[in-house]
Amino acid sequence: MNDFEKQIAAKSGDGLQSQKIETLQVNLGLLCNQRCNHCHLGASPDRKEVMEWPIMELVLEACKRAHCQLVDLTGGAPELNPNFRRFVRALCREGHRVQVRTNLTVLLEPGMEQMPEFLRRHRIRLVASMPCYLKENVCAQRGPGVYEKSVAAIKRLNALGYGYESFLPLTLVYNPGGPFLPPPQSALEEDYRRELARRFGIVFTHLLTITNMPLGRFRTELARQNKEQDYLQLLRMSFNPQTIGGLMCRRQLSVGWDGTLFDCDFNLALGLPVNHGAPDHIRFFKIGDLQRRRIVTGEHCFGCTAGLGSSCGGALV
Ligand code: SF4
Ligand code: SF4
């Protein structure tokens, strides 16, 4: 039993167990138009890994059997998968509620001119990275020019009704610019709302705060600055038992670009598939064996339970 499991067991008397799968998160690949220095997956324009159509067909079949409330498409930049539109159309035809995690700047790439209209037509919910309302903080994490392009993309989405219409939610995502925990989500949301409206006249639906996980490029950078152990200690010392009930792995399953099944996107980044007897590939998807599974954990899990908690859906308490 690792230290995280010991903490969980001290509160619940057992390891971490999943419940009903409400969300199927599908990673369409590691190809991305950006190369952010906090990316836990190491995505970049050089990555070749993308989900192929035969795996997407298996995902479609699994979605049908799982009756999930939400299919959450992520990457890399999911829009760059050559079969992205075909897959989204197929999911919508089956009646699934679909959400796309977009980095915004991809919407300005060549060949993406029609993508915002495509997303709108299919009523796709959008979750968009915008780690700060200040240019210097965004560019420091995500590269020069990303701030201006992100604002331009939000303006385009606003013009189509995103952030205004209830069926076109545009959720923004904040993550800290360094090895510290996010501030309270609702107060920061107000700051974002005020500053983005004042500076650019843009609107959004909600703000999510997400803790930087000690993984991928973020961890490499911490190690380079000799801050890795201090950050791990901060996460560990900030353990908040009230977050346990809301941990996303308890109601979510992640499908990797090659069809491997993971308890979450962070385990995907670490190459830690589901285990403890549950089927670990979409080919063997069996809802009964997956929805009450024992979750694979590690020291990185303290990133989800620190402070107000963190998940792909934001703070937990
Ligand atoms: S953080 Fe997102 S936008 Fe940045 S490189 Fe990773 S996948 Fe791409
Ligand atoms: S890192 Fe993944 S497995 Fe660990 S607590 Fe967070 S969501 Fe659950």
**3-state per-residue secondary structure call for 242-268:** HHHHHCHHHCEEEECCCCEEECCHHHH
d(CA 29, CA 27): 6
CB of 150 closer than 6 angstroms to any ligand 1 atom:
no
Asked if residue 9 lies in contact with residue 1, where contact means CB atoms within 8 angstroms, the answer is: yes
d(CA 158, CA 202): 7
d(CA 257, CA 138): 27
Lowest mean pLDDT segment, chosen from 7-11, 159-163, 212-216: 7-11
Taking residues 81-89, what's their average pLDDT?
98
Provide the pLDDT for residue 12. Answer: 80
198-210 pLDDT per residue, tens: 999 999 999 999 9
CB proximity list for 306: less than 8 A, separation 6 or greater: 181, 211, 234, 235, 238, 239, 240
Nearest bound ligand to the CA of residue 301: 2
Nearest bound ligand to the CA of residue 37: 1
Exposed, middle or buried: residue 24 (CB in 10 Å: 0-12, 13-18, 19+)? buried
Mean pLDDT taken over the chain: 96
Helices (H), 96-213: 115-121, 135-142, 146-159, 185-200
Provide the pLDDT for residue 207. Answer: 98
Taking residues 137-148, what's their average pLDDT?
95
User: What ligand 2 atom has the least distance to the C-alpha of 311?
Assistant: 7
Structure-model confidence comparison of residues 76 and 15, the more confident one:
76
Q: How many CB atoms lie within 10 A of CB 252?
A: 24
Provide the pLDDT for residue 1. Answer: 87
Look at residue 11 and tell me whether its pLDDT is greater than 90. Answer: no
d(CA 11, CA 169): 36
Cα(30) to centroid of ligand 2, in Å?
20
Asked if residue 81 lies in contact with residue 255, where contact means CB atoms within 8 angstroms, the answer is: no
Phi/psi of residue 248, each to 5°? -65, -30
Look at residue 282 and tell me whether its pLDDT is greater than 90. Answer: yes
CB of 43 closer than 6 angstroms to any ligand 1 atom:
yes
CB of 127 closer than 6 angstroms to any ligand 2 atom:
no
19-29 pLDDT per residue, tens: 999 999 999 99
Cα(308) to centroid of ligand 2, in Å?
15
Asked if residue 99 lies in contact with residue 127, where contact means CB atoms within 8 angstroms, the answer is: yes
pTM exceeds 0.85, yes or no? yes
Nearest bound ligand to the CA of residue 49: 1
d(CA 28, CA 31): 9
Helix, strand, coil abundance in the chain, percent, nearest 5: 40, 15, 45
CB of 303 closer than 6 angstroms to any ligand 1 atom:
no
Cα(290) to centroid of ligand 2, in Å?
16
Cα(259) to centroid of ligand 2, in Å?
19
By DSSP bridging, strand 70-74 and strand 261-262 are: unpaired
User: What ligand 1 atom has the least distance to the C-alpha of 142?
Assistant: 4
Number of helices and strands in the chain (H, E): 12, 8
Q: Is the peptide bond before 76 cis (omega within 30 degrees of 0)?
A: yes
Asked if residue 206 lies in contact with residue 189, where contact means CB atoms within 8 angstroms, the answer is: yes
Q: How many CB atoms lie within 10 A of CB 10?
A: 9
d(CA 4, CA 194): 38
Look at residue 169 and tell me whether its pLDDT is greater than 90. Answer: yes
CB of 262 closer than 6 angstroms to any ligand 2 atom:
no
CB of 34 closer than 6 angstroms to any ligand 1 atom:
yes
